[in-house]
Structure 1
């Protein structure tokens, strides 16, 4: 493993990294027992230190990291300021700790090594997330992104082999392999213009057909495996991120304001984002929350189950489609983004337990809109019917008072439901 303390963060401190600071400060608190409790991009939105089960300790650590990012604090000063506080609160050394399930184990709490990991990992991840946001906002000028590895004795061989390779900014590879890609990863990404690509004699590659899904062990104690996405480097070698790193920390937190982009560009971006790990994790987190709630509350009605699962949900949402200008006009909105909220997804998974809509189907919402056989307008709703094989699906979008578009429901439907919708609404397409 690369030495965290050797990470070159000098470039992060040449300016006050406003975007990186904004990113870090926008993280919510989440207290977890193990780092993989907030697996991958969930961690991008909730600052977490494994085993920091006391909110005051978590606040101390967060405050120290926040100051390091904003002020360019060196690790020496970071350790000097934080270690005495953690020692005084008993969060230091090896101790017997009981987890939320009543299981006792000896754990390593604070240590110099852990502080180095916390310091290096959070600063590197935060800086790269802020950098990603700025790069996305400048894709019209610099649409080509080049992977840059630090080429020295501590560089992993696979990371070195991805060095200087170029992909378009919207290539799916950046959803999984935007650095950092492991503990101690010092890689970064450089944005290039078309002229720079030509002058340097670079080849713009595509990850199409080269991304490989596999499972990585994240807990020796439980044997838990989590999916990761690797890249075929050629010659039988695979670039594989570390367990818990197969995501884009910037994309997981930041969503560009797609209403500032043409419909075609916004649609292409969303289709790429929905096909990647961030949306899969979004879906699976809600699916796990629903299943866990059902397990401890057998026999509850769907309405009561939804109330029971509510504490496990947040106000998080994800864009799943882009609406064409003519349909924006029909819905009287200025936005092209169609959003899916956590509570709606949970409601769908609970209410449709007998015939659940799969992750793959939710990834087809843009396809459902584009290829609808019927489009019906009713009040503030827009209903789409489409067929997938021999199954009829019904998608309902709703305009909220602030002028946003949210998915209300998406599920298999019967022909009779379609006829009833056509009868009571204004038919914009189909209706036969």
Structure 2
């Protein structure tokens, strides 16, 4: 198969796992018009315009999930979903109540509409996963080439970028990484230095050539409100590439970031459920915070615990480099805590000695680690210590990295957490027991 003629259904079967996990991490959002959500919000939440029922939205999401995971075709997708939507009453032209409570005749489900839903969601999910995979391999393949599907349906604006090469960290990929419009079939090809030289390609820069602005993208019939959506243009060599309204951006970057270290971890995590939770954490999704808080509450209420894990966030590069230098071991760079670790921290011993944390402290562990006032290294026990301010000053003890039984992924595990005395911490630093890696006591 020629690289420019890649078929979406075929592509999804090549590397669907990260695309599926990204899609499953998205929340649900009911909207009336597609313009009600920015491209950034669309990257983090699944929505279908005029799907005013969660039943409808969930039914569509389930079929898209199946299409991503199993590689079902557009025809199979429509055949399976159409009768479900018809049964739910979301089909054809109907009188419906919009977001302002007004009754209006609108077009709901239709074969054409389902085609758009299928193509748009599969393309964005696949490219989001592909971006992270390419980012993870950017050390060996740092040059990215834009590849358009050059046939009679290719837009002139997209063809203008065909085969042009930019470094992976060039600003153009934050605005023009495909898809760049409705039905866009473009993709990005990652290249090594040797490939670039062998093919005689020129590495360009988009500096000073990108222009991002808002355009009118529609009118709300009920209120008369004029919607504004972002567009990005790239002008070079007398040619202009322009995104469709609302398609300016990079789904994979918005949803999972543009950090190479994080991309490497995301692409190598074998625990799929953990990866979905990590993606939600990267989005700082309220649903993720609520789920973590409920998880902690259940453990401390039932007092039953196994080896189930929850992610807490990523170790910053500066700390990771220092840990490697001190210990000679590469940290996992992903913090996590197990059910058993939570119960161990919430022990009777800690209660008797007055250092037990509050429920809110345990539920705030992800934020407390991010906002830590200092990061120390315990020279005796070879552990990381994150010093944070919760209900009191607290010490979060992390074993980096650590392999839990039954867990294939190496993680930086929180093995304890309790209240700590500032005076004692200062003495330990002054006495040479703790090394300060960041911040201060």
TM-score range normalised by the length of the shorter chain = 0.5 to 0.7
Q: Deviations over 1:200-242 (max 9, x none)?
A: 000111111111122122222321213332211332x432111
Deviates more, 1:222-231 or 1:151-160: 222-231
Q: Aligned to 2:234, which of 231, 236, 245? A: 231
Cross-structure match for 1:242? 244
SS in 1 for 2:226: coil
Q: Deviations over 1:276-308 (max 9, x none)?
A: xxxxxx99xx9xxxxxxxxxxxxxxxxxxxxxx
Matches within 5 A, 1:148-187: 148-187=147-186
CA distance in 2, matches of 1:380, 1:126: 34
| Structure of higher CA gyration radius | 2
CA distance in 1, matches of 2:372, 2:88: 54
Q: 1:17 Cα deviation (Å)?
A: 1.4
Cross-structure match for 1:125? 124
RMSD, matched Cα: 4.2
Runs of at least 5 residues in structure 1 that lack an aligned partner in the other structure:
1-5, 262-281, 287-316, 338-378, 383-396, 404-425
SS in 2 for 1:218: strand
Distance 1:318 1:177, change over 3 A: farther
Q: 1:133 Cα deviation (Å)?
A: 1.3
Find out whether 1:80 has 2:79 as its counterpart: yes
CA distance in 2, matches of 1:203, 1:130: 27
Q: 1:60 Cα deviation (Å)?
A: 0.7
Q: 1:326 Cα deviation (Å)?
A: 9.4
Kept in 2: contact 1:16–1:71 (CA 8 A)? no
CA distance in 1, matches of 2:99, 2:42: 20
Kept in 1: contact 2:12–2:126 (CA 8 A)? no
Q: 1:182 Cα deviation (Å)?
A: 0.2
Cross-structure match for 1:65? 64
Distance 1:326 1:23, change over 3 A: closer
CA distance in 1, matches of 2:124, 2:263: 26
Kept in 2: contact 1:148–1:190 (CA 8 A)? yes
SS in 2 for 1:162: coil
Matches within 5 A, 1:1-400: 8-15=7-14, 17-221=16-220, 222-235=225-238, 237-255=239-257, 256=259, 258=261, 380-381=372-373
SS in 2 for 1:129: helix
CA distance in 2, matches of 1:400, 1:57: 46
SS in 2 for 1:224: strand
Cross-structure match for 1:354? none
TM-score, normalised via structure 1 length: 0.61
CA distance in 2, matches of 1:259, 1:58: 31
Distance 1:402 1:207, change over 3 A: farther
Kept in 1: contact 2:9–2:72 (CA 8 A)? no
Deviates more, 1:186-195 or 1:42-51: 42-51
CA distance in 2, matches of 1:260, 1:128: 14
Kept in 1: contact 2:30–2:54 (CA 8 A)? yes
CA distance in 2, matches of 1:200, 1:117: 36
CA distance in 1, matches of 2:160, 2:261: 33
Kept in 1: contact 2:93–2:108 (CA 8 A)? yes
CA distance in 2, matches of 1:164, 1:8: 18
CA distance in 1, matches of 2:231, 2:124: 18
TM-score, normalised via structure 2 length: 0.59
Q: Deviations over 1:136-170 (max 9, x none)?
A: 11111100000000000000001111000000001
Q: How many residues align?
A: 305
Runs of at least 5 residues in structure 2 that lack an aligned partner in the other structure:
265-282, 287-311, 325-330, 335-370, 375-387, 399-429, 431-436
CA distance in 2, matches of 1:193, 1:34: 42
Distance 1:210 1:322, change over 3 A: farther
Deviates more, 1:20-29 or 1:194-203: 20-29
CA distance in 2, matches of 1:66, 1:336: 29
SS in 1 for 2:83: helix
CA distance in 1, matches of 2:236, 2:319: 38
Q: Deviations over 1:184-209 (max 9, x none)?
A: 00000000000000000001111111
